Homo-oligomer: A and B are copies of this chain.
Amino acid sequence: MKQPESVQKLINAFSRLPGVGQKTAQRYAYAVIAMDKEDALDFASAIEGVKEKIKFCSICGNFTEDDVCDICKTRDHSVICVVSDPRDILSLERVAGRTFVYHVLGGTLNPLEGKGPDDLNIKQLLKRLDGVKEVIIATNPDVEGEATAVYLARLLKPMGIKVTRIAQGISMGSEIEYADEVTLSRALESRTEI
């Protein structure tokens, strides 16, 4: 069945979201049609609002409505946690005790996709190292994330900065029997005394 044009447009818009296929996009579009007009217009203006107001923090690259984000504004800058994406900050903030600030790289090194050091927000990181005691590298534990971590460590260590990497090992609640070999060997290598 041909959908009315306006519905098809909305389905296309929804299917641009990550992990949303045609069927889910359709479901969302129909939900919008069924919404109160007010709710739907709020939705539209929320999208517009984000595009108008959100920019990148001039220090760390996180999303913010101001020139400098709330985290950079209020915290001590002697420990910097490097992440590849602003989304990672959300997860880390849930567990970290407001003891460090962040730096968003905006991706990871990925030669296959032609993404080199110049494509990441590394220059900005180098500019803010004055008085920094430790840089925690919290990129994902995959090939690109590891390569990025190694690259940064080689860059920062000669400057006398302590560079650390978040630990890799068996996740809580998982079973050794089903752990993949790389994870298990990392867990063994990084074993700690109890």
Binding site of A, secondary structure by majority: helix, strand, loop or mixed? helix
Query: Does A51 reach chain B (CB closer than 8 Å)?
Result: yes
Docked-complex contact A53 and B4, CB < 8 angstroms: yes
Query: Does A60 reach chain B (CB closer than 8 Å)?
Result: no
Most buried by B among A37, A50, A71: A50
Query: Does A143 reach chain B (CB closer than 8 Å)?
Result: no
**Min C-beta distance of A42 to chain B, whole Å:** 6
Stretch of A7-15, A128-136, A151-159, A168-176 at the chain-chain interface: A7-15
Q: What copy number does this chain have within its complex?
A: 2
**B-side contacts of A30, CB under 8 Å:** 63, 86-87
Docked-complex contact B46 and A9, CB < 8 angstroms: yes
Docked-complex contact A50 and B63, CB < 8 angstroms: no
Binding site for B on A (CB under 8 A): 1-7, 9-10, 12-13, 16-20, 26-33, 35, 37, 39-54, 63-65, 70-71, 86-87, 89-90, 93-94
- Could you pull out 14 A-B pairs where Cβ atoms are within 8 angstroms? A1-B94, A4-B63, A6-B53, A7-B50, A9-B42, A10-B46, A13-B43, A17-B28, A18-B27, A20-B28, A32-B50, A40-B47, A41-B48, A44-B44
